[in-house]
Structure 1
Amino acid sequence: MEDPSGWNLIESDPSVFEQLLVDVGVEGLQVDELYSLDEETFDQLKPVKAFIFLFRWVGKEQDGYKAGIEVDPQDCGIFFANQVVNNACGTMAALNAVMNIPEVDSEYQGESIKIGPELQRMKEFSMGMDSVNLGHLISSNPLIREIHNSFSRSTPFTFDPSSNPDADPSDAYHFVTYAPFNGLVYELDGLREKPLMHAAALDDWTIPARQIVQHRINTYPEGQIHFSLLAISDSRKPLLKRHLKDPTLSTSEKEDLSWRLKSEEHKTIQATQDNALRRNNLIPAVLGLLKALGESGVVDTLRESSRKDRKVKKMRSGDE
């Protein structure tokens, strides 16, 4: 769906966010959707680097969620960009996450974490820049905008949001990031002026972060299900492949690792197929096919055949 801002809506799908990061140049991370906040779920993903939380936006004046302490991002050194254009909140949340994840050099193939040359240049250029100007810097980056828009849904129409000022605000959704930084848990919401500092990260920063997310969910009416929680963590396939080479593994351990690796490979194949469909605009082909059918007379033939079938069924019904 095209937008006057130049940024289109994208889905809150983990495969979209993971491929978006890969295309921007990020290495060594993967994105998973979480369906539970329990410990068992997180044990399978550790170490988790950041959360991206999607929720229904109700406006600050109606938002019952109040937590955290506002801090100046330049004072604490955290990377924080404001959202300054419509529809960019997903990519902004992803960048606010990965730009605060420490890079890691690993001797093992595929296990290093890198933000890539494009984001590295942006990080160096933006040193000392306030969050609003940083938001403008990201929003005006043609590569990031092009990658973001490549995941938007195809549509034969262009909608002007100003043509429907009375649209239901409950249809609006927003992404925020939760991430550890220098021993503290932060909430990075591009629509807020500053980051929110929540709690000490301690040994497992996800424990207070999960409590914060649950608290936010609890501010909505019971039964509200319009939430999505994505976890950014280390890429698991390289690690699983390396562990499978361990000669001291028992048969059961090898079977477990092999099953987990196959599961990850299946997810990658499915994600590749889904993203290929998202990025290929099939609408012109469909419209072309319909036009060709109309010009060939096939549509008229089918319409006439359908009319005759209805007539026969009506006559038979009358006979009964």
Structure 2
Amino acid sequence: MTRPPLTLYMAAPRGFCAGVDRAIKIVEIALEKWGAPVFVRHEIVHNRYVVDDLRAKGAVFVDELDEVPDDRPVVFSAHGVPKSVPAEAARRRMIHVDATCPLVSKVHIEAARHHENGLQMVMIGHAGHPETEGTMGQLPPGEVLLVETAADVADLAPRDPERLAFITQTTLSVDDTAEIVAALRARFPSIVGPHKEDICYATTNRQEAVKAMALHCDALLVVGAPNSSNSRRLVEVGRRAGCGYAQLVQRADDIDWRALDGARAIGITAGASAPEVLVNEVVAAFRDRYDVQMREVETAVEDVEFKVPRILRVPA
């Protein structure tokens, strides 16, 4: 039977960013250095395939530090942790390795600097997300006010409207965040913003690639996990940019083929915590059903690399 023709537009860049790549390496090197088990507080990154792969190598994922024995190393996830967590690890004299993405750490440093200058923080982020909890946990209770939407700005009750600064989660929609920032500046004209925007380069680049290919596509598939903020934002960006259908898939098995019936051009991208092996799996599934022509849509070239912490670079 003749397979119908299909053009797959592949976003570039897509998939792993430097912070995710570093976090995974940290767990792998820790396992080599100290042997299994190495404990990891929360998912190292938001991707089931990655977590399961590390678990098979000897990583043990836990929700809280009190689940970790004193005599075993623990790694903190790429999303960052409240200050109380490494403080407790130090009190217990545990070997602990911080895999927080350096771009998230930059936001932590900004928050601390503004706090030292007497400013109350407004954080733009998603309630309950580990990165948001980690960033808000850098400062004492009440010093960080959370807003998720532009509408939330009207309900803010800061201690002093003239003494405010804002920071953001690094994995937000660029367009949504701009709308919230505009609302903050309209209500609080003296609010202080970051010297350089907090949304990380990888989030921005992946969203721009989706926008560039959206107009060519009947549908968009984003390879990523449902608890991955940056992956879910890519679905939203694709819909807003003109894709008639956009779906988040963890694996090829999740593809809704009926929804794609009749499509002749489909865009594929991957969130920053999704490995390329899963993208290849999705592409292979399309090749099984269609006569596929591949086209790459490149909007940026990424060459960022972050070093692993010093504790992993010195002999045991």
Answer whether TM exceeds 0.5 for this pair. no
Higher relative contact order (CA 8 A, sep 6+): 1
The structure having more radius of gyration, on CA atoms, is 1
User: Which is richer in strand?
Assistant: 2
User: Which is richer in helix?
Assistant: 1
